[in-house]
Structure 1
């Protein structure tokens, strides 16, 4: 026991002689500056939430590395030298630390302690970085007029769109927010399941010549707490400026830094014709329903909005989207749809070249109508720059990356889309197809089943289950899903499945093909052509399959791209000269 104090005294002398504490003081100050700089810069660069934590733990690891190096080496005017043992040191070499360095030693300890407390120990006060993800619930309609539900829906889309422009926030998309609003969950449950740091509860209190809103921001953890509430009453013509104002104020209240460009965009003054705005919101309301009848209603409202305000871009984009929908559903030939798509889309781009939504539509048209991969990617990236929180943008972009055989990037974008809108069956379907084509079959089929729970006969979901079952060798399930995709009735499916049990998979596919060929052309979905080509290929009709694919190229089919993703669905003809010629004409990289 008597030697212990002496041993500690000797160790302390060695720490001072080797200038360990001096090195630690310098390191602590530098680490603090680095961490503070990262907390300011990383959100602006759009780096993931965990990147700052990673820097913190690397700096903490650096403390131990610094101690080891300081103990073993001296930095002298002659360079780096290994520290001599005390017994080899002459008396005149044993210089003691000055009072200045002793002060620095104690300050370093305080700085390190403050660094750990500030970044690790939770505090009651909200600080920058505490809120990085936001759930904006649908607007409650307290106007007393149920016919204004379309207004509340439009306001919800607009506020999410404006908040989505803030790169330092992850904003949950509209469809998932709508679904969670209908569930019997409290705010902490919603936030926990969606990994949201805060929830926005908006209400529309009046809607006439003036618009009245109340906005509440609530943090759900560790307990539900309102951190801000704003009330607004503005003239109806200023509604777009109101969204900007609300977005800016929410960002300020939750201490999210805005880039200079975001500051500029949210400060922009936008004039609007209120009658045209109402008509446009009605058009969007019907467009979201995606039925032939609803599409026609949407077109009528978009055209009326254009008549009233011909200098406003969104209705032109709405008409372009109408023609995209008509083409996708096969309701009109390409000779009619394609010219109209470009006519209205080009006008929208001319009127508002800074709209994230218009750039997204332009990207989709470039890829699925024009086969213009360079323009498509440029437009997707521009839209993503303007609004990094648009789940559709990332889901669509992931599909374009599939065609270009950039599967790792496709997976990254699809995963991000799902994070932004996890309950949207449309996003689930798109991501399921991405996962399918990069070989993640089980994940693809799991998502497809989720989409089918919400939307029975979801076409992307059924496609993923059919192709996934085929790839995994579950041929009975593949047969059933294939028949369902073609809309075969119950009697036909009984025959098909009986053939499968007696004669096997290929015979069952031959039976499906015979039934499909007996269906009038106008009753077969446009999107069925690729599957018909696949049926011909699987049943030995290679020439018929290739002829169908060539015809699809001639009519600029929107789903021909999926044949050339590198997936093995068409592997039997992947080396055929006619197949390779189609791929080359589309400007796609080899399989």
Structure 2
């Protein structure tokens, strides 16, 4: 045993093992950072780890057989047993050799993967460098916008009367509305500030850092029932130091509550502007209402609206309507009514026509009462989105001009830009909304969506945890993770997340849609029928058009094209959504092999999107563009097909989906190569889609683009492999349902 130990030491086995371990660890850390930065799949890291693990015993065998000496590498048996005359040089040579070999392994692996990834440019028109929008930074400082930032925490009522608490909340609401109109001041939104109501476990400094603001305004209210007087104390605190910048106490009569509110609001704002922004003149302060009951109802409505569940939105609508009953001239309450109706349609409990009619009337009333109400213009933009995007954009810009601190204006404007295919612009707007309302689950959801679209799924999941921590009853967070998992082909896991969303909100439209899509893709017919039955039991959950569209997709997933076409032909979009009508007409004609009609419909759709040509390629994940190209091919119009595919390829090359290793990118590229009769490249891209998580085998089976590959053995094996994975998922879910 002693002799073996001596041999191991003499043959440098221990030395090589130590150097190998010490060198491998930092290289793994570097690779872990480099792989996502280069847009490479996670499998690259797995491959590197396997290489390092396999290389370890190889390095030990090499060390047993050969030794590093001052004169080079020699067989261990030939080396003089005497101590080397230059041990330091030997150690350096050994270290360089081992570390160098590992470094070469890392570089070769990364380079080879990049070469594989760069195959997308083979035989394609050279594209200009892609401009890939980066995900926004959650912790972006307000100083970047050169704005001083503030959050107003709910004032603490020191009395047993619940009305005092409502008064305190209403006063903070008015302060927020006034401050929000100051262009050079960034104000944390009500949703974020009010999450700290009743929180005593955190210091002001901690809260300020979480809200990412420079200053905090807090206060208290004490009512004396005997003397009918009220004392309000307010103080302004610098977050970075905890220093009190200003404080004041107001002792007033309680008999004129709104005059008190007005005076306090003016005084507090004046003091803050002197301290924060210099001696600028106070802008006119317009009180929203002078009816305490209306103010209270409005505050309750805003609280419910922030949850974004159907039951909560219905409660919010009731409170806003009650506020109007108390004060028919309360403009902000009309905005609340408009928003509630739109959101009820969005989340599936109200028909779009009914919601749009009620919301339009409420917005018109709000603007007639206050033509400078930024919130009303934001709601107007939301109503116009999809129907008249140019007017919607003007409305959003006017809303931001009037109220630069209204987070929803940026959020809804971002949604419009996203639907137009302007992803970078949408990212920026979502980020601005999140800065203004960092505790809002809706704002956080949109930023998480940005991370997801940019390929930073880990960051999206981290933000999901934050959303659930702030509001575990927000279903959008679970739906987001469900969408991520479904897109990556982890359908069984996505089902679990959608079911969690549905548990929080039993009539959540997006959750039911997600469950239907996941089970359709999984070819889980029984489960799909169950969720269709769920829709029948909750008829207001989806519109009749949405349900018919889902039925068409269900039959298409089963390969029953005739039934799918029948249902698809019954899809009627809402008024003003001409684009949806053209898409449906094109798809029906396409699958009926009426390619002339398909070209007419798709070309009309493409021309309708001329203001933003990317919107056409963004539509239905590129399916409209691919089917138009196929129709050109069938009509013997190769030049038109080539031009369209060149433009679509350029769009895909510049798309965030390429950088994100998104399966949709590879699938679309595979379809393009199939149309170009480049079978080898097509198979490579198709395998890339499968590796990235593509599982919609039903789509490839019914799409005539892939029909020429029907007898290709390699293509058939790929499809069979995915079918086997789907069968495993179905079996897993069936087994879990028995527990």
Same fold by TM (over 0.5)?
Answer: yes
| Map 1:76-475 → 2, pairs under 5 A | 132-181=148-197, 182=199, 184-206=201-223, 212-222=231-241, 224-232=242-250, 233=252, 235-238=256-259, 239-240=261-262, 242-256=264-278, 258=280, 263=281, 265-266=283-284, 272-288=290-306, 295=313, 298-367=316-385, 371-437=387-453, 439-456=455-472, 458-475=474-491
Q: Is the 8 A contact 2:382 2:412 kept in 1?
A: yes
Contact 2:304–2:312 (8 Å) recurs in 1: yes
Q: 1:151 to 1:343 in 2, by over 3 A?
A: same
CA-CA distance at 1:287 after TM superposition: 4.5
**Cα distance change, pair 136–408 in 1 and its aligned pair in 2 (3 A):** same
Structure 2: distance between partners of 1:207 and 1:345 = 40
Give a deviation string over 1:274-298, Cα, whole Å, max 9, x none.
5544444454455556565655555
Query: Matched residue pairs, number?
Result: 440
Is 2:537 the partner of 1:516? no
Maintained 8 Å contact 1:433/1:460: no
Alignment of 1:41-80 (within 5 A): 49-50=143-144
Cα distance, 1:177 vs. partner? 2.3
1:354 positional shift: 0.7
Task: State the alpha-carbon separation in 2 of the partners of residues 315 and 285 from structure 1.
Answer: 13
Do the aligned partners of residues 185 and 462 (structure 1) sit closer, same or farther apart at CA in structure 2, a change above 3 Å counting? same
The 2-side partners of 1:230 and 1:205 are apart by 14
Q: CA deviation at 1:133?
A: 1.9
Displacement of 1:162 in angstroms is: 1.9
SS of alignment partner, residue 553 of structure 1: coil
The answer to whether the 8 A contact 1:199-1:217 is kept is: yes
Q: 1:456 to 1:145 in 2, by over 3 A?
A: same
Contact 1:436 1:464 in 2 (8 A): no
CA RMSD after TM alignment: 4.5
- Would you say 1:551 and 2:571 are equivalent positions? yes
Gaps of 5+ in 1: 1-46, 53-128, 490-495, 581-588
Q: Give how far 1:201 is off.
A: 0.8
CA separation of 1:432 and 1:577: change in aligned 2, threshold 3 A? same
Match of 1:99 in 2: none
Distance 1:520 1:204, change over 3 A: same
Contact 2:378 2:409 in 1 (8 A): yes
CA contact (8 A) 2:554 2:564 kept: no
- Aligned-partner Cα distance in 2 for 1:486–1:272: 40
Aligned to 1:575: 626
Residue 375 (structure 1) shift: 1.9
Q: 1: CA distance between counterparts of 2:164 and 2:217?
A: 21
Contact 1:429 1:448 in 2 (8 A): yes
User: Which blocks of at least 5 consecutive residues in structure 2 are unaligned?
Assistant: 1-140, 507-513, 584-614, 632-646, 652-739
In 2: Cα distance, 1:546 partner to 1:432 partner = 38
Matched residues in 1 for 2:538 and 2:629: separation?
Answer: 29
Normalising by structure 2, what TM-score?
A: 0.51
Kept after mapping to 1: 8 A contact 2:617/2:625:
no
SS of residue paired to 1:311? coil
Distance 2:452 2:568 in 1: 23
Give the Å deviation of 1:401.
Answer: 0.8
Distance 2:248 2:293 in 1: 26
SS of equivalent residue, structure 2 residue 235: strand
Tell me, yes or no, if the aligned pair for 1:513 and 1:532 is still in contact at 8 Å. no
Are the aligned partners of 1:377 and 1:397 in contact in 2 as well (CA < 8 Å)?
yes
Q: Within 2, Cα distance between the matches of 1:347 and 1:135? A: 30
Displacement of 1:347 = 1.0
Output the CA distance in 1 between the equivalents of 2:393 and 2:531: 36
Note the alpha carbon deviations across 1:443-485, whole angstroms, 9 max, x for none: 3333234323444474422332223223344444335445666
CA contact (8 A) 1:445 1:465 kept: yes
Q: TM-score w.r.t. structure 1 length?
A: 0.62
The 1:352/1:178 distance shift into structure 2, 3 A limit, reads same
Question: What is the distance in 1 between the residues matched to 2:630 and 2:175?
Answer: 47
